[in-house]
Amino acid sequence: MGHETISQIVVSALLANNFVLAMFLGLCPFLGVSGKLDTAFPMGVATTFVMLVASLCAYGLNLLLSAFHLEFLRLIAYIVVIASAVQLVEMVLKKYSPALFRALGIYLPLITTNCAVLGVALFQTAREYDFLQSMAFSFGGGAGFTLALVLMASVRERLQLSDIPGVAQGTALSLMLAGILSLAFMGFAGMGG
Amino acid sequence: MTLPGQQEQKLSMDTFLEGLWRQNPTFVMVLGMCPTLAVTVSAVNALTMGLATTIVLVFSCWLISLLRKLVPKEVRIATYIVIIATFVTAVDYLIQAVSLALYDALGAFIQLIVVNCIILGRAEAHASKHPPLVALTNALGMGAGFTIGLFALGAVREILGSGSLFGLSLFGADFQPWVVMILPPGGFFVLGAWLLLFAWWKRRKGGRALIAEGQHHGA
Amino acid sequence: MTAQVPVVEATPTTSMIKTLGIVATVCGLIIVGAYQGTYSAVAANKKIAIERAVFKVIPGSKNISEFYAMPNGIAPAAGETPPGAVKFYAAYDANDRLTGVAAEAGAKGYADVVRILYGYSQDCRCIIGIGVVSMRETPGIGDKILTDRQFLANFTALDVKLNADLSALANAVKTVKHGTKSHAWEVEAISGATVTSKAVGKGINDSAQSLLPKLVPQIEKLRSRQS
């Protein structure tokens, strides 16, 4: 609960309880964007950034809402903050890296509906993490998401040159791959205390 | 995903059936994956999640459709999200009131319904362009299709991974459950298997149609 | 979900604010309505769940009362837990006599926190039962703590008596390897499920170390139920 150390939280969110492969968060972009490595990595980084911002705001919002006993507004407040954070990232990217902005295209606003981002906010609230723990959690989670995305993209790029039966192409194959990756990541369980 | 026509759709059986089969959210559109894989460790959890999502989907689409002429284009996504979040919060309390056990089993994924791509996608693509009754019926069909998808997954995973269905033991005490099925990898594998099955079936159907056409032309 | 390029001129700000205002009001009413409407049902559910759990770990109980144990005394529970206070439940039988005290314990297991409720009896100065409140341990391995009879037998008389100056447990609760239990304050782990077993032992130790030094000096005050 509040007894976990920072390193335990980061390692756990990164590997043993990987957001995508163990907690099933962020699956839509995971299956959708992981086709090519050069879009997968920036997507992961953008999502991690949004997760950090969302985590920060969620922590502050939770303190505020608890003080006024308005807990039932928590969900709405979180999701509005996330939508705003995504808008912010979009504007920043558009200004400083238009090529990347165009490459990510439609997937950038879709970060708003990425369960991983809202998931970070909800889980850190449920586990009653303090400020540093929340930051560590969102960083580890985002890094884990990026890791899973990059791994998936690398494998899928290789597979494009392979001879796959027509019936298995597409999402079915991605899911089987994800299952194998998830199985592999189970080996990390218990790591980090 | 086919683009909806510009005219407002008339209410028909197809409005309901569309979400059930042709545009099934789980097997065809592959949307809403997070809850699909996370909560389908048992048939009961799957059904509850499907029901909760359907309630949110139906009410949100209905309200959004009612307000569709009032909401300015620039703020529509924000408005939809707020409306969806409202109904998710309501359903969250409803489930707590009905059964705390179910609530604990579904965990954070009830609140994560708000970012279920199906709902926002449906609101944007359909509810904002059609009258309330049409939107409501379509949402009901989508929700039903989603629930069927969840149940297909939950039932298989529970039977293989726990040897039971709805908590009733099927194979007796000596059954060695295939535990991986109720762990995360199992979710991926079972859904992949379902999609494989569907793709194969669609090919066979398409293949047969082609052969029939060929025979027709050749004769 | 692509944004369509608007062909008409942008909507005036006042109209946007008006719409958002209407939407916010409607949504606010729905949320508050749902919250108020379900409040009593949710509270009742929570009470039933706690009662069921406590009755399971302290057999023979008919009623429970909530308290806080603090360094300077015991107080009935009300509102939020003050810092440094440990919440516990006093269980009474049909004649309003104290049957035991129950408290929550938790420690990180294999996957997530394992939360248990344990029952303590002053008569034997020991723990008399446990129940798992929530856990996400591996099915077939870690979840054996729910059913393994030998493991559960650890907790029918787990020695948690205090030391001479009542400041801590005389012997800390420790989880030991399967087959090596030699003292009444040790918990024998399930072979093959050591991590989860250790979590249960650690949780109990942490909670007992924190609760019992505050509770035991005052426990005579709880012997009969005050309504």
Domain boundaries, chain A: 6-188
Chain C residues in contact with A1 by the CB 8 A cut-off are 106, 113
Residue C76 pairs with which residues in a beta bridge? C67
Q: State residue B51 phi and psi, 5-degree precision.
A: -65, -45
Alpha-carbon gap, residue C146 to C154, rounded angstroms = 13
* Average pLDDT of the segment spanning C188-208: 87
Kindly state the average pLDDT of the residues B116-129.
84
As a residue count, chain A comes to 193
Query: Who contacts B25 (Cβ-Cβ below 8 Å, separation ≥6)?
Result: B19, B31, B32, B118, B142, B145, B146, B149
Structure confidence by residue, pLDDT tens digits, C117-147: 999 988 888 889 888 887 777 776 777 888 8
CA angle (A47, A49, A50) in 5-degree steps:
65
The tokens describing C113, both together, are 């926190």
Q: Which residues of C touch A (CB under 8 A)?
A: 1-3, 27, 31-32, 35, 106-108, 110-113, 138, 195
pLDDT digits 0-9 by tens, B165-176: 887 777 776 777
Q: What is the pLDDT of residues C90-113, one digit of tens each?
A: 888 888 888 888 998 888 777 677
The answer to the question of residue B19 being in a domain is yes
Structure tokens that stand for C59 in this block = 């057999």
Query: Which residues of A are less than 8 Å from C32 in CB distance?
Result: 72
Which tokens sit at B14? Answer: 């197809």
- Coil vs helix vs strand at B47: helix
Do the Cβ atoms of A75 and B81 come within 8 Å? no
Does residue C119 contact residue C57 with C-beta atoms inside 8 Å? yes
**Residue B69, number of CB atoms within 10 A of its CB:** 7
Contacts of B33 in chain A (CB under 8 A): 24, 27-28, 31
Dihedral pair phi/psi, residue B41, rounded to 5°: -80, -10
Nearest CA in chain A to B120: A113
Q: ipTM score here?
A: 0.82
Is the pLDDT reported for residue A146 higher than 90? yes
C-alpha angle with apex C33: A62 to B32, nearest 5 degrees?
A: 65
Which among B139, B130, B52 has a CA at the least distance from the CA of B87?
A: B52
Question: Which of C89, C24, C25, C16 is CA-nearest to residue C51?
Answer: C89
- The CA distances from residue C126 to C68, C152, C159, in Å, are 20, 14, 5
Indicate the domain borders of chain C.
46-222
Distance of alpha carbon C104 from alpha carbon B99, whole angstroms = 21
Least confident piece of the model among B78-92, C139-153, C170-184: C139-153
Quick check: C110 and C128 in contact, CB under 8 A? Answer: no
Domains: count for chain B: 1
Does residue A1 register a pLDDT over 50? no
Please tell me the total number of residues recorded for chain B in this structure. 219
**Matching residue, tokens 């807990």:** A71
- Band of residue A93 on the pLDDT scale cut at 50, 70, 90: confident
CB < 8 Å to B72, chain C: 11, 15-16, 19
Residue B218 forms part of a structural domain: no
Residue A3 contacts C, CB cutoff 8 Å: yes
C90 close to C96: Cβ distance less than 8 angstroms: no
% pLDDT > 90, chain C = 0
CB contact under 8 A, C139 and B183: yes
Cα–Cα distances (Å) from B127 to A110, B63, B121, C27, in that order, read 19, 9, 9, 18
Identity of the residue numbered C141: I
* CA dihedral sign, ordered B20, B23, B28, B33: negative
CA distance A35 to A174: 9
Domain housing B60: 14-166+178-206
Total residues found in chain C within this entry: 227
* DSSP letters for A44-77: HHHHHHHHHHHHHHHHHHHHHHHHTT-GGGHHHH
Number of A/C CB contacts below 8 angstroms equals 25
Which of C7, C26, C27 is most worth mutating to test chain B (most B CB atoms within 10 A of its CB)?
C27
CB spacing of C108 vs A110 below 8 angstroms: no
Which of B78, B117, B187 is nearest residue A113 as measured by Cβ atoms? B117
A contacts of B80 (beta carbons < 8 Å)? none
Query: In whole angstroms, what is the distance from residue C78 CA to residue C68 CA?
Result: 9
| Strand-pair partners of C67 | C76, C88
